[in-house]
Amino acid sequence: MNTINKADLYQKILNQHFGNDVRLSDTSSITGGCINESIKLDTNQGSFFIKHNNEMPLSFFEAERKGLELLKKNSSFTVPNVLALGEEERFSYLILEYVESKRSTENYWKDLGEKLAEMHQVSSVEFGLDSDNYIGKLPQSNTTTKEWLPFFIHERLLPQVHLGIKNGFLSSSYIDKIERLSDQLKGYFPIEQPSFLHGDLWSGNTMVGSQGEPCLIDPAIYFGHRESELAFTTMFGGFDESFFHAYYDVFPWEEGIKERLKVYNLYPLLVHLNLFGRGYLSEIEDVLNVIDKF
């Protein structure tokens, strides 16, 4: 599909959802994502943000719509409004309001930490969600359970291990290694109520909003252990220390969290193994070796 055809297709999509008075004037690619093609659409009625994917079904963007809407409902973060979604010719797509990113405020990281701590106090009676969704482009099962450890093993780790075996990245021995965690990690995680989580909270899924405030995008929501979200923020860095201090002041964590974070990050490490290849295998093995010494 060449550039001219894409512009014509974007125009058709805009007219379908917003009427024939909307006229496309320019398009520009948005960098930073690795799953979808992301485009800013400039029109005579303002700018729109469209992301589309020629491999994923419409349910992929339906899950993102639900995630964004629940993120907006359950937090005080700025979250882009969902304007439309659908399928057209070769791809499925999602249209969001375009958030014009400005310079961050002086209290940006403090605000991010406080708002996340407040969001994590939104709770549920079970871990999981009433529907499945995606993390990156991988399916994420959210079958609900009463306890965190069974959920962590059966809804997070084992599905990724089975996928890793299918992809040729892991041997079948990893099934036994993960199943043994039921005994090895018994009593290891602090007992807490399930918290509403963004689910994929690395620095690339945060942005500065139009007023310099924290804005969250690309969620993989569910109710989980809040420490797993904090672990995710440490995996690739990029979060200022003031973020963690502000979070702790609002919603303190229990002692020993530093070591627990490595265990929680088994999940995103397995996800990245399946998305990007064997480069993450040594880190996975390091964590499992540490657990074997418990």
**Which tokens is 136 given?**
């990156």
**Which tokens is 99 given?**
């958030």
Please tell me the distance from the alpha carbon of residue 47 to that of residue 97, in angstroms, as a whole number.
Answer: 7
Distances from the Cα of 189 to the Cαs of 122, 227, 249, 253, 254, in angstroms?
A: 19, 9, 21, 11, 10
Cβ neighbours of 145 (radius 10 Å): 17
Left if phi > 0, otherwise alpha if psi is -120 to 50, otherwise beta: which for 12? alpha
Q: Is the dihedral of CA 167, 169, 173, 175 positive or negative?
A: negative
Q: Would residue 8 show up in a list of annotated catalytic residues for this protein? A: no
**Which tokens is 74 given?**
């359950």
- Which one of the listed residues 26, 132, 200, 292 is annotated catalytic? 200
Which residues are tagged catalytic?
Answer: 200
